[in-house]
Structures are given as C-alpha cells and as structure tokens.
C-alpha cells in the first residue's frame, strides 16, 4: 500500500434488492458497520496489533514510513486495515487504525446497508455522501459520518470503508491492493 500500486478488486458483489432487506432485525455486533467508529470488533484508532491478535496473521501486508496496510482474504471477501504511527507522539510506537475496508456483504450498517446495495437506496440512507473518482473507482463519501462506499459499474456498492468522522484525509485514501 505505502510503496506498492493498488490492484483492481476481483470481488464478486452479491446483489440484494431493497425488498429483501430485513432492516427491522438487528445486525450482530461482529458484523455491524458503525460509521466513524468501526466494523465489527475492529475500531478506528485502536492499535493495529490488536487486530492481528484477533484475526491472525494477515494474508497480505505492506509497511513503510510509519504506514501499515494489512489485508485478510477469505474466498472473495477481504478485510483491509490501514494504520499509521503518530511520530513524535507519546505513543509513536503504536500503529493506530485509520481506515477499515470490507468487501463482504455479511457486514452491514444498522440500516442494513452493505456490499451489493444499490446506489439509489444508499443515497437515501446517506444523502450527504459526495461522489469522487479515485483510481477510476466511483466513491461516495459521507465525511461527516465517517463512511465511504465504492461503487461498481452496475451502480452497486462493492466495498465499504469506515474512517474517523470528519477526517477528509482518510475519506479518499486508496487502500485497495
């Protein structure tokens, strides 16, 4: 990530129609996406080492200049964590999580927004999301809430990224590899 070029994702997106969504059922905590906070048990600003302890050795990793990218692959699903050290800070030896990206439809917001969700329905849930193009990928970011959605050519969500609320530098950071 820090030194390498990102690769296009070959993730297969499971389509879900809004009529199939069971938004009245609660999402399990280990699958819950909370904008600005975390995904499942992985939280923004926690130490990256804690995720390695929880998920095991990452399938891919890259580190340089205080930045660290860790990716766990399971079939076509990925979890990628981007972390960074606070050089000069009292805890400069700790790499803190700044972004969490998932490609699995198993992870959902409390309103059941997930990978495979159509753009028009997504915009109803996140009307503050602004479109940007990064590395040829359409991304819709609601920076105030701390969530970004990557969209595929079919206008369906192909990945969800959580970052700190209001963090414009993290909202459009490319962590695909």
Asked if residue 16 has pLDDT above 50, the reply is: no
**Domains with residue ranges and CATH for the chain:** 29-166 (3.40.33.10)
pLDDT of residue 76: 79
Encoded tokens for 31 = 């699958």
pLDDT of residue 22: 57
Model confidence pLDDT, tens digit, residues 74-103: 887 899 999 987 766 676 778 889 999 999
Write the CA distances from 53 to 47, 56, 85, 112, integer angstroms: 10, 6, 18, 28
Q: What percent of the chain stands above pLDDT 70?
A: 79
| Lowest-confidence region among 79-88, 109-118, 167-176 | 167-176
Per-residue confidence at 8, pLDDT binned at 50, 70, 90? very low
Paired sense of beta strands 77-85 and 95-102, if any = antiparallel
More confident residue, 27 or 175: 27
Return d(Cα 23, Cα 25) in angstroms, integer: 5
């Amino acid at each position: 990530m820090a030194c390498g070029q990102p690769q296009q994702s070959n993730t297969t997106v499971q389509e879900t129609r809004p009529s199939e969504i069971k938004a009245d059922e609660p999402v399990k905590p280990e699958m819950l996406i909370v904008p600005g906070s975390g995904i499942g048990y992985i939280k923004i600003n926690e130490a990256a080492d804690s995720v390695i302890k929880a998920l095991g050795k990452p399938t891919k990793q890259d580190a340089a200049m205080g930045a660290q990218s860790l990716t766990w692959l399971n079939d076509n699903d990925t979890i990628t964590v981007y972390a960074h050290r606070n050089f000069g800070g009292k805890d400069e030896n700790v790499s803190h999580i700044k972004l969490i990206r998932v490609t699995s439809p198993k992870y959902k917001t409390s309103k059941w927004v997930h990978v495979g969700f159509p753009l028009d329905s997504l915009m109803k849930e996140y009307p503050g999301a602004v479109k940007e193009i990064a590395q040829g990928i359409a991304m819709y970011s609601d920076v105030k809430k701390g969530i970004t959605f990557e969209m595929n050519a079919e206008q369906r969500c192909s990945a969800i990224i959580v970052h700190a609320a209001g963090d414009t530098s993290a909202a459009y950071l490319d962590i695909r590899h």
